[in-house]
Amino acid sequence: MPEQLIFAMEVSLNGLMTGVMYALVALGFVLIYKASGIFNYAQGVMALFAAMTLVGIQEGRVPFSHLINAIFGTEVHHLPWHSVPALFAILLTVAVMIFFAWAVQKVVFHHLVGQEPIILFMATIGLAYFLEGVADLMWGSEIRTLDVGLPQGLNLAIDETTYGWFGYGFFIDNLDIVAAIVAAVLVASLVAFAQYTKQGRAMRAVADDHQAALSVGISLNFVWILVWSLAGFVALVAGIMWGSKSGVQFSLSLIALKALPVLMLGGFTSIPGAIVGGLIIGVGEALFEFLVGPMIGGATENWFAYVLALLFLVFRPQGLFGEKIIERV
Q: What is the DSSP string of 53-120?
A: HHHHHHTTBPTTHHHHHHHH-----B-S-S---HHHHHHHHHHHHHHHHHHIIIIIGGGGTT--HHHH
pLDDT score recorded for residue 90: 95
In degrees and rounded to multiples of 5, residue 113 shows phi and psi of -60, 130
pLDDT score recorded for residue 328: 43
Burial class of 295 by CB neighbour count within 10 A (0 to 12, 13 to 18, 19+)? exposed
Tallying the residues shown for the chain, one arrives at 329
192-214 burial, b at 16+ Cβ within 10 Å, e below that, comes to ebbeeeeebebbebbbeebeebe
Burial class of 263 by CB neighbour count within 10 A (0 to 12, 13 to 18, 19+)? buried
pLDDT score recorded for residue 296: 67
Q: How far apart are CA 90 and CA 226, in angstroms?
A: 19
Q: Using an 8 Å Cβ cutoff, are 284 and 306 in contact? A: no
Cβ neighbour number for residue 318 with a 10 Å cutoff:
20
Question: What is this structure's pTM?
Answer: 0.88
- Of 256, 258, 247, 257, the residue nearest 52 (C-alpha): 247
**DSSP for 266-294, written as a single string:** H-TT-HHHHHHHHHHHHHHHHHHHHHTHH
Eight-state DSSP code of residue 217:
T
For the chain (329 residues), the mean pLDDT of every run of 10, in chain order, is 84 90 88 82 91 92 88 84 88 94 88 82 92 90 87 90 89 90 88 86 77 77 88 92 87 81 88 90 87 67 82 87 57
pLDDT score recorded for residue 256: 77
**Roughly what angle, to the nearest 10 degrees, separates helices 271-291 and 174-196?**
150
Q: How far apart are CA 312 and CA 159, in angstroms?
A: 36
pLDDT score recorded for residue 99: 94
What are the Cα distances from residue 123, in Å, to 94, 108, 206, 284?
23, 8, 20, 33
Name every residue whose Cβ is closer than 8 Å to that of residue 226 and which is 6 or more positions away in sequence. 101, 199, 203
pLDDT score recorded for residue 55: 93
In angstroms and rounded to an integer, the radius of gyration of the C-alpha atoms of the chain is: 21
User: What one-letter code names the amino acid at 253?
Assistant: S
- Model pLDDT for residues 236-293, shown as the tens digit of each residue: 999 999 889 888 888 888 877 788 899 989 988 888 888 899 999 999 888 888 887 6
β-pair partners for 61: 78
Cβ neighbour number for residue 178 with a 10 Å cutoff:
18
pLDDT score recorded for residue 272: 87
CA count, 13 A, side-chain hemisphere, 15? 22
